[in-house]
Amino acid sequence: MTINKSNKLVVLYASQTGNAEWIAKSINQEAVQRGFKSECYVTDDYEQADLEHTKVLIVVAANTGDGDPPENAIKFFRYLRKIKSKTFLSHCQFAILGLGDTNYTNFNNTAKRIEKKFLELGGRPFYDKGLADDASGLETVVEPWISNLWVALEKVCERTSTATTQTISTNDFSMKAMPTKNKDTNTTKETTIENVVANNNASTPTDDTNATRMNHAVSSTTATTVTTSTSATATTLIIKETTLNEETANNLTIMSTDDTSSVTTFTAALSITTPKLFSLGTPLTIDLSTLSTITQLTAIPRIPSSICRTTFHSTCKHTSKFLPPSFISTPSPIFQAYLSAATLLTDPDAVKRTLQIELEVDEEEKDTVTFLPGDAFGVIAPNDDGLVRGLLNRLGIGEDEMHKEVEIQSIDVAKHGDLPSHLKEAKSTSLYELLRYGLDLTSLIRKPLLRMLAECAVDAEEKKTLLFLCSKQGLGQFTALRNQLPTVLDVLATFPSCQPPFDRLLDVLLPLQPRYYSAINSLLAHPRSMHFAFNVVEFTNEFDVSKRGVCTPWLDELSGKVTERGVRVEINKDERVAIPLFLKPNTHEFNVPSDLKRNIIMIGPGTGVAPFLGFLQHRECQLKILYETMESIANVNRKDIGDIDHNGVDTNGTDHGDIEHKKTQSISSSYGESWLFYGCRDKSKDFLYKNEIEGYLSRGILGRLSVAVSREPGAGENGKPKYVQDLIKIHAKEVYEMIYDKDAVVFVCGDAKGMAKAVNDTLAAILSEYNGISHADALKQLLKWTDEKKYLLDLW
């Protein structure tokens, strides 16, 4: 069937962290700049997208958990599921780009599911799907996929206007536009770096050995160096060795995918103030030894479009110390709970420091807190104050300015696209608040940031290094840079001549994400409380630079960094701080079964055991309630029983010891079997909740416990178990019988990358052996059980 070219393109995104949204909007912007009529929507806004009439569709889909659709695609999936017509999308040609991670079992499941459904509904792909893999770097797939998309798109979609002619920013002083080849369809252009080194008065090569390594350090070093200092930051740039052979530099050609006229304007550094406490950032180590041998840089991404504009108001914006700003959007309403107690769960010598935190709401607010074990809490944690102030200071924004009321607007919706969703409601905020709560400053850096900074670099060496890091040739160095886990401030400290306007950071940084923790308590036991546990993320990277998470060190500090293991430290009522959080019900029904008789197998090493603590506490309370109900029924039925003697016999001659025994028997017979597989490194140091778990075992709430200890001598050797999956293998027959004959539900909680995959494979091997089916069929059976809620996964 021939279909006339469409005159319109729709780009949809299903995004969890903002990355898929960013990519989809970039595709949309580039499409518009190339002369296509294009619109961009989040998948859940499918009504606006008008799929029934859309002829050309591009979907960018991320994943959450182990291949689950992001929250903003749940409605879309429900909508698609209901459509049964096999011709519903027969008018539509589509292309799908998935953002996934091969460390997870269901790699790029969201993109694959969308593709399958689109095909079932009669849609036809016009371009091969791209499945990007975070394990090897999303860019390696995303960038070529987008570069080659335009040629494919030309065949199915008409341009409604002439593409914008290519221009290069005049600020891009070291680059010269070369004639564009094949103007209409070509996705690349050539530019030449001219006299890069010659223009660079500040950085003169001092050593022309091959071992070219660029190291910008705040402190001076003994190496022969060339130093430049920037007044804005008082940071010293030290180039230890040659960064580029002059002759090569003059001939260096940059193959870029830029095709836009996005011109970055540079604002002069604003007045610098010196707040008392702020971070300077740690310059990064970059190995530039290969750069001197490279004559061409290819596949440099486009300069990110300028989208955001900050408008200042005359008023000041007070930032509450603990209340997040109103522009933050969450899946359920944010409320505050007081940090009331903390317990250190691990030995000070343990590999990880694990903390239990207890939050409490006031009595009158207890009805707002409704959750079941298996649900999670989303904590809204701010970026570190020192980092935020340091970054603002580095950008030249003084103390007064950072607290002025501002509003974020789109520069030009028609031309550059709409604001990113996380900034849409940023109407009355401040620059400080935006950095503290709105933007991710610490997660893995992305090329768009470096590409944007390359446009801001005044120093030619820095510009060249930034372009190299963005290029195909610099992929290894980019990965190495990313593995140092730099903050945005660290990146700026490495490139001191870059002074990006604040708005440009808004254009390229992704939203700060809430941090999720599983409930370890049951409301039946603690009606106003929310208990959860986590490993405190603080470590040093390969260059001995301290790194820290956002939420866990913050909560650790707020609770006074408790030091004594196993001692519950209550926080004085007048010293309690309020923590903003929201409730996140489990979307997979990974909750404690309401039926006490249901047999359960729980698999959760490390903090993956968290929800099962809640399960057991809940079951014990259910049992108690049942017991109390029986007791009150018995009391109603009981006539005057008179005094009970020391043998438990009343004046009517009834033996109450016997009654108690019978009651306990009847209660436990109404209670299903349960088996917990737990894993730790060293039983004496990090067996989380050992006493509690053994208590449940001794009281019969937990039927069976199997613990794998991974760092015991001989663990994993000669058949000695190391991990939970090894224990499951050892008990294969009983596990099989419990699942098959006793219809147990299997719950797996924890790390999706290693553990869950291995457990899945082990269960498949057991099914394969005992059912006499192939491994592939066993895997299918497990998937079916997931659908039937018999095999439930809560993976992180």
Binding mask 697-716 for ligand NAP (x = CB under 6 A): -------------xx-----
CA distance 128 to 111: 12
Q: Which of these ranges, 289-297, 381-389, 679-687, 691-699, lies near ligand NAP under the rule CB under 6 A?
A: 679-687
Q: Does 681 bind ligand NAP (CB under 6 A)?
A: yes
Residue span binding ligand NAP (CB under 6 A) among the ranges 231-239, 289-297, 566-574, 602-610: 602-610
Q: How far apart are CA 14 and CA 20, in angstroms?
A: 7
Buried b vs exposed e over 704-724: b needs ≥16 C-beta within 10 Å? Answer: eebbbbbeeeeeeeeeebbbb
Helix (H) / strand (E) containing 124 = strand 124-125
Give the CA angle between residues 262, 263, 269 to the nearest 5°.
135
The number of residues making up the chain comes to: 796
796 binds ligand NAP (CB under 6 A): yes
The DSSP element (H or E) to which 316 belongs, if any, is strand 308-316
Nearer to ligand NAP, 310 or 725 (CB): 725
22-to-289, 330, 420, 515, 771 alpha-carbon distances in Å: 32, 19, 7, 21, 47
Of 485, 512, 680, 745, the residue at the interface with ligand NAP (CB under 6 A) is 680
- Of 516 and 627, which has the nearer Cβ to ligand NAP? 516
Q: How far is the CB of 206 from ligand NAP (least distance, A)?
A: 44
> Minimum distance between the CB of residue 705 and ligand NAP, rounded to whole angstroms?
15
Q: Is residue 530 part of the contact set for ligand NAP (CB under 6 A)?
A: no
Angle between helices 732-740 and 755-771 (to 10 degrees): 80
The binding track of 305-344 with respect to ligand NAP, each residue x by CB under 6 A or -, is ----------------------------------------
Asked if 467 and 495 count as a contact pair (C-beta separation under 8 A), the reply is no
The tokens describing 367, both together, are 């009805």
Of 504 and 515, CB closest to ligand NAP: 515
| Residue 747 phi, psi (nearest 5) | -110, 130
Examine residue 518 and tell whether it contacts ligand NAP (CB under 6 A): yes
When the beta carbons of 500 and 611 are compared against ligand NAP, the nearer one is 611
Closer to ligand NAP by CB, 355 or 454: give it. Answer: 355
Instruction: Pick out residues in 735-774 that bind ligand NAP (CB under 6 A).
Output: 749-751, 754-755, 758
- Phi, psi dihedrals of residue 250, rounded to the nearest 5°: -65, -25
CB of 499 to ligand NAP, least distance (A): 38
* C-beta of 206 vs 513, nearer to ligand NAP: 513
Q: Give the residue, chosen from 288, 571, 724, 782, that forms a contact with ligand NAP under the rule CB under 6 A.
A: 724
In the complex, least distance from residue 525 CB atom to ligand NAP, rounded to whole angstroms: 18
Assess 537 for contact with ligand NAP (CB under 6 A). no
- How many residues belong to the site for ligand NAP (CB under 6 A)? 27
- In the Cβ-directed half-sphere of 585, how many Cα atoms lie within 13 Å? 7
Task: Give the CB-nearest residue to ligand NAP.
Answer: 606
Closer Cβ to ligand NAP, 98 or 750, answer by number: 750
Structure tokens at 220: 């001076």
φ and ψ at residue 45, rounded to 5 degrees: -95, 40
Q: Residue 194: which of 167, 180, 173 has the closest Cα?
A: 173
Part in contact with ligand NAP (CB under 6 A); list of ranges 139-147, 262-270, 273-281, 678-686: 678-686
Among 371, 534, 612, 747, binds ligand NAP (CB under 6 A): 534
User: Nearest distance from residue 582's CB to ligand NAP, in Å?
Assistant: 15
Residue 376 · residue 519 · CB < 8 Å: yes
Minimum CB distance to ligand NAP, residue 135 (Å):
15
The CA-based diameter of the chain, rounded to the nearest angstrom, is: 109
Phi, psi torsion values for 100, nearest 5 degrees: -135, -165
Site string for ligand NAP, 477-516 (x = CB under 6 A): ----------------------------------------
> At closest approach, how far in Å is the CB of 686 from ligand NAP?
7
- Sign, Cα dihedral of 324, 326, 331, 336: positive
Burial string for 726-740 (b: 16+ CB within 10 Å, else e) reads bbbbebbeebbebbe
Residue found by looking up tokens 């499409």 in the block:
31
Residue from 608, 617, 619, 687 in contact with ligand NAP (CB under 6 A): 608
Return the residues of window 233-262 that contact ligand NAP according to CB under 6 A: none
What DSSP letter does each residue of 179-222 carry, written as one string?
PPSSTTT---EEEEE-SHHHH-SS-------S--EEE--SS--S
Q: CB 602 → ligand NAP: shortest distance, Å?
A: 12
Least CB distance from residue 187 to ligand NAP, whole Å?
A: 39
Question: According to CB under 6 A, which residues from 109 to 128 bind ligand NAP?
Answer: none
* Site for ligand NAP, residues 341 to 380, rule: CB under 6 A: 352
Q: Which is nearer to ligand NAP, 45 or 557 (CB)?
A: 557
- Nearer Cβ to ligand NAP (42/610): 610
Q: What is the DSSP string of 446-494?
A: -HHHHHHHHHHB-SHHHHHHHHHHHSSTTHHHHHHHHHT---HHHHHHH
Backbone angles phi, psi at 524, to 5 degrees: -65, -30
Provide, rounded to whole angstroms, the least separation between the CB of residue 555 and ligand NAP. Answer: 11
Which one among 605, 706, 739, 767 touches ligand NAP, defined by CB under 6 A? 605
Which one, 11 or 763, has the nearer CB to ligand NAP? 763
**Whose CA is closest to 503, among 304, 353, 746?**
304
Contact residues: ligand NAP, CB under 6 A: 352, 517-518, 532-535, 605-608, 610, 679-681, 710-711, 723-725, 749-751, 754-755, 758, 796
